[in-house]
A and B are shown apart, each in its own frame.
Chain A
Amino acid sequence: MQNNMLPDENGHFGPYGGKFVAETLMGPLEELTEAYTHYLKDPGFLKELDDELHHYVGRPSPLYHARRWSEILGGAQVYLKREDLNHTGAHKINNTVGQALLAKRMGKTRIIAETGAGQHGVAAATVAARLGLECVVYMGSKDIKRQSTNVFRMKLLGATVVPVESGSKTLKDALNEAMRDWVTNIDDTFYIIGTVAGPHPYPVMVRDFQTVIGRETRQQCLEQAGRLPDALVACVGGGSNAIGLFYPFLDDKDVAIYGVEAGGDGLETGRHAAPLNAGKPGVLHGNRTYLMEDENGQIIETHSISAGLDYPGVGPEHSWLKDSGRAMYVAINDDEALQAFHDLTKIEGIMPALESSHALAYASKLAPKMRKDEIIIVNLSGRGDKDIQTVATLGGITL
């Protein structure tokens, strides 16, 4: 089956994906699938979405040739897809704009979201403010501590941030709690999932809203370089920025695709967030996918320097792309990502998010092995302002 024909009507990407939820959510998911399928073909909806992406988000985002960094790396030409320049500073808003417009069309008045690094929470709170919708964001209490700036941003935007104290107190637990809210308030509430995980139709819907990244990139690369890139690199937590970049290139067989997971302290230590590299398939958060789990099927705690990658699962389409061999999934450790953060900041004057720094670090390993006339495109999925506290603390600096 062609990669771009998936998922099937029940949300399966080969053995992955699906709808593994309690019965109470089956009706609402069906309603969401119908609404989404309908509006995806509705010219009025699509025009409204395009207008918002252009005038509010600031799209198209530039494709930037990082000449100085490429020169220093001494191999392939590295281009950066500048999702960090979007309104709110990351790719997350592409999806929240889409889902919030859909929520409004469906007559929902209340938006809920989960967040890890806070980027998705900020993006959800932003569009909720823009559209006059109530917004509640669930966030693990551990993440609240390490992303206090984003928590304050959400509050300024009028959102209620609910600390989640259960389990590992991170993104996965925030998702559990958001699901519990949704099941309790389904009549008026729209749940904006921030990544290509969750039950069908979320993985395909979020992908569709994020593929604007790859569509623009493809066109920009053809315009600027006169041809398609040789490799794509993106970080993978849940994997929404990655699938957004990858999807429009899946049938371009000569374009190599690399997803970069969070290697944490190193895959060999077990302290990481790399289910595609070191996990096995299982079922969590409504879909079957690769997971970080113990031998009894309990989900285990993950570790990453970046809160946005600190998730034990991954979007089911990535599991499928891994098994089918169309994409390669690699891991970058905390210290390598941190080095890439400093390099890009000093060499190009661009401060990347720690999430995106994982992709940059892998590109810096890949580029020297490639010819100077070859092209790597890295999805610079977010800006690093939110991470300066973390970076300072790691450097022993008190701000």
Chain B
Amino acid sequence: MSRITDCFKNLQEEKRKGLIPFIVAGDPKPGFTLPLMKALVDGGADLIELGVPFSDPMADGPAIQAGSERALAHGTTLHDVIGMVATFRKDNQQTPVILMGYLNPVEIMGYEDFAKSAAEAGVDGVLIIDMPPEEAGELKEILVKHQIDMIFLIAPTTSVERQKYISETASGFLYYVSLKGVTGSNRLDTNSVEESVRVIKQQSKLPVGVGFGIRDAESAAKVAKVSDAIIVGSPIVELVGEMADDSADSLNKISEYLSALRDAIDVV
């Protein structure tokens, strides 16, 4: 069983909701990523989504675009990101790590090389934002061979028929995009999220994580109530962008932000 499946199983047994923070690897400097990942775990992260920076992040809002630009300014590559996961795994065997990014850096590395080195480093899941299941056949097969879950998005524009199709292709969990828009948008409608997650759960047994519009404890609690996990990216990436250094004080700010979300979702 994969680390992701295990993680959601434990959450369910403990009647807790999952907290999945997102940071861009290499942001604001490559050396910050490892201490940041540890700070996220300290702040209560159940899984970590590690963004692979890309020059043209079409689905991202200003916060994550800026994070990608900061990481790329320091030359962060997909090889580097996989290396960061390998280092993280030396001390942490438990927290699942999902790489999230765009297809082109993976294309250049080659699917087989990518999957093999990611698996060896201890990557548990891969979410390629611009690769819908229709185009994912070959990569999916290779990831399965290396026991890496391929995570897919479901959007408010996804028909029930497609939800079913995506569920059959995905493993690990389903990532529901809570709004029509880019990451970090401020248009979250929790009522429609509740209804959508209910419909998705009729199509699939996979856990459902919800992301794209959660900004604070209040929205986190509302979304956690109707889903299995919440995914928070832009607000964390904004905080990371303000870090002057990787001192304990700076890292504490990130852990504290996450702890507040943790507390909010643990009471739902």
Contact = CB atoms under 8 A, between A and B. Distances in A.
B153 A23 contact: yes
Contact of A283 (B61, B103, B156, B182): B103
Interface in A12-35: 18-28
A23 B135 CA distance: 12
Nearest to A286: B130
B196 to A, nearest CB: 13
A8 B166 CA distance: 22
Contacts of B102: 283
A284 interface: yes
Contacts of A10: 134
A296 interface: yes
A176 interface: yes
A282 B107 contact: yes
B9 interface: no
A17 B129 CA distance: 17
A23 B105 contact: no
Contact of B157 (A26, A282, A284, A293): A26
B108 A295 contact: yes
Interface string B198-229: 00000000000000000000000000000000
A285 B58 CA distance: 8
A291 B104 contact: yes
A283 B157 contact: no
A23 B55 contact: no
B42 to A, nearest CB: 31
B4 to A, nearest CB: 19
Nearest to B152: A23
B74 interface: no
A179 B58 contact: yes
B107 A297 contact: yes
Contacts of A26: 132, 155, 157-158, 162
A180 interface: yes
Nearest to A166: B65
Contacts of B166: 23
Contacts of A172: 56
A297 B106 contact: yes
Nearest to A12: B135
Contact of B158 (A23, A284, A298, A300): A23
B104 A283 contact: yes
B78 A20 contact: no
B78 A27 contact: no
A150 to B, nearest CB: 24
A235 B184 CA distance: 39
A299 interface: yes
A24 B108 CA distance: 25
B58 A296 contact: no
Contacts of B59: 22, 24, 179-180, 183
B154 A299 contact: no
Interface residues of A, number: 39
B56 A176 contact: yes
A167 interface: yes
A20 B109 CA distance: 18
A87 to B, nearest CB: 32
B72 interface: yes
A144 to B, nearest CB: 19
A184 B134 contact: no
A172 B104 CA distance: 15
Contacts of B177: 22-24
Nearest to B132: A26
B132 A27 contact: no
Contacts of A179: 58-59
B259 to A, nearest CB: 30
B104 A27 contact: no
A186 interface: yes
Given A184-B182, A184-B185, A298-B72, A167 B106 contact: no
A170 to B, nearest CB: 12
Contacts of A281: 107
Contacts of A23: 132, 152-155, 157-158, 166, 177
A261 to B, nearest CB: 20
B88 interface: no
B180 interface: yes
A301 B158 CA distance: 34
A19 B132 contact: yes
Given A22-B155, A23-B152, A297-B78, A284 B182 contact: no
A296 B54 CA distance: 10
Given A183-B182, A299-B55, A21 B156 contact: no
Interface string B114-146: 000000000000000111101100000000000
Interface in B48-83: 54-61, 65, 69, 72, 77-79
Max chain B Cβ within 10 angstroms of own Cβ: one of A23, A179, A285: A23
A19 B134 contact: yes
B93 interface: no
A185 B185 CA distance: 12
Contacts of A283: 102-104, 107, 130
B76 to A, nearest CB: 9
B132 to A, nearest CB: 5
A284 B153 contact: no
Contacts of B54: 297-298
Interface of A: 10, 18-28, 166-167, 172-173, 176, 179-180, 183-187, 281-286, 288, 291, 293, 295-300
26 contacts: A10-B134, A18-B134, A18-B135, A21-B130, A21-B132, A22-B153, A27-B155, A27-B159, A167-B56, A176-B58, A179-B59, A180-B58, A180-B61, A180-B182, A185-B180, A281-B107, A282-B104, A284-B56, A284-B104, A291-B104, A293-B108, A297-B54, A297-B78, A297-B105, A297-B108, A298-B54
Given A22-B58, A26-B132, A283-B130, 9 more contacts: A18-B134, A18-B135, A23-B153, A23-B157, A24-B157, A24-B181, A180-B182, A297-B108, A298-B54
4 closest pairs, A vs B, by CB?
A: A297-B105, A297-B108, A27-B157, A24-B155
